[in-house]
Amino acid sequence: MPIIDCHIHLSDIQSFHHTARDLSGVDYSVAGLKAEFERSGVILGIGMGVEEETPAAFPDTLAGNPMGLDLARPMPSFLMECVGINPVRLAADTGKEDLDRIEQRLQSKEVAGIKLYAGYYHYFVTDPVYGPVYELAKKYDVPVVIHTGDTYSMNGLLKYSHPLTVDELAYQQRGVRFMICHLGDPWVMDAAEVVAKNPNVYADLSGLVVGDQHKFDRFQNEPLFMDHFRRALVYADNYEKMLFGTDWPLAPIDVYIEFVRRLIPEKHHDDVFYRNALRVFPRVKERLESL
Ligand SMILES: [Zn+2]
């Protein structure tokens, strides 16, 4: 079975370098990712664009739009990216220029979608600053991927990243597809409800455990931990809207695949590991056909 990893990173962000070195033990480079993908049968990865101007500044209010995968230039054929949006720069006087650059980048076949860092940046996803971004998503038929749940930085604010905030957005923007990241963890039941209720909302299962095999073994063998996610998946009862992603370099690819295999009933593996990505990201299909 081919696998598409809908959520990885390849940006020069200090906390990702540290996590790779100290927690997950992965080689955080294009070559490292390529080797892990090949070993695990992953045919394509979607990278979430993010950049920091100064080391450890993430979420950096100074980062220019759009934010990309600055460790993957030029972009290898097994990768696509979601362009990252810095709303602080969008709200500035020069916001129109940023918007023009975002639109220009969206015309590249390397781009699969748009990524919002809710919580990291202190704006609700319904804030008018994002209005033009949703218009671009509609115009170019790309999904908007939204961080939800815990922030991987103490400088995030959780009220902006709670999955319930996406409910109102999905209602306002029925013409846009949204993918909420990390199933809103720890608010996975809330995320499951937002996915179940809204036809235009999907979820990725990335970043639910951060670390190496040892850490995964500890959590995978804790029924309370696994049941926390299973309850939400059973409640949503819609495996055509759940997408596989790892949040690499936060965990090794093969270890994360095994974790998701255990969470998802086997008859839904094709959908979760491969097919759903083609539904949410039309350009992924185009990219695969061109390879
Ligand atoms: Zn991520």
CATH code (residue 11): 3.20.20.140
Instruction: Please compute the mean of the pLDDT values over residues 280-291 and round it to a whole number.
Output: 94
Q: How far is the CA of 136 from the centre of ligand 1 (A)?
A: 22
Q: How far is the CA of 156 from the centre of ligand 1 (A)?
A: 14
Give the pLDDT score at 59.
Answer: 86
Q: How far is the CA of 9 from the centre of ligand 1 (A)?
A: 6
Give the pLDDT score at 47.
Answer: 98
Q: How far is the CA of 19 from the centre of ligand 1 (A)?
A: 12
Q: How far is the CA of 278 from the centre of ligand 1 (A)?
A: 20
Q: Where residue 58 falls among pLDDT bands split at 50, 70, 90?
A: confident
**Predicted confidence (pLDDT) at residue 270 exceeds the cutoff of 90:** yes
Q: How far is the CA of 247 from the centre of ligand 1 (A)?
A: 5
Q: How far is the CA of 117 from the centre of ligand 1 (A)?
A: 9
Q: How far is the CA of 231 from the centre of ligand 1 (A)?
A: 23
Please give the share of the chain, as a percent, with pLDDT higher than 70: 100
Q: How far is the CA of 176 from the centre of ligand 1 (A)?
A: 21
Boundaries of domain holding 251: 3-290
Q: How far is the CA of 140 from the centre of ligand 1 (A)?
A: 23
**Predicted confidence (pLDDT) at residue 85 exceeds the cutoff of 90:** yes
Give the pLDDT score at 105.
Answer: 98
Q: How far is the CA of 284 from the centre of ligand 1 (A)?
A: 18
Please give the share of the chain, as a percent, with pLDDT higher than 90: 96
pLDDT tens digits, 8-56? 999 999 999 999 999 999 999 999 999 999 999 999 999 999 999 989 8
Q: How far is the CA of 146 from the centre of ligand 1 (A)?
A: 10
Q: How far is the CA of 56 from the centre of ligand 1 (A)?
A: 16
Q: How far is the CA of 8 from the centre of ligand 1 (A)?
A: 6
Give the pLDDT score at 67.
Answer: 97
Mean pLDDT computed over every residue of the chain: 97
Q: Write down the pTM of the prediction.
A: 0.97
Q: Where residue 205 falls among pLDDT bands split at 50, 70, 90?
A: very high
- Residue entry with tokens 């370098």: 17
Q: How far is the CA of 257 from the centre of ligand 1 (A)?
A: 16
Q: How far is the CA of 172 from the centre of ligand 1 (A)?
A: 25
Instruction: Please compute the mean of the pLDDT values over residues 107-132 and round it to a whole number.
Output: 98
Q: Per the structure, how many domains does the chain have?
A: 1
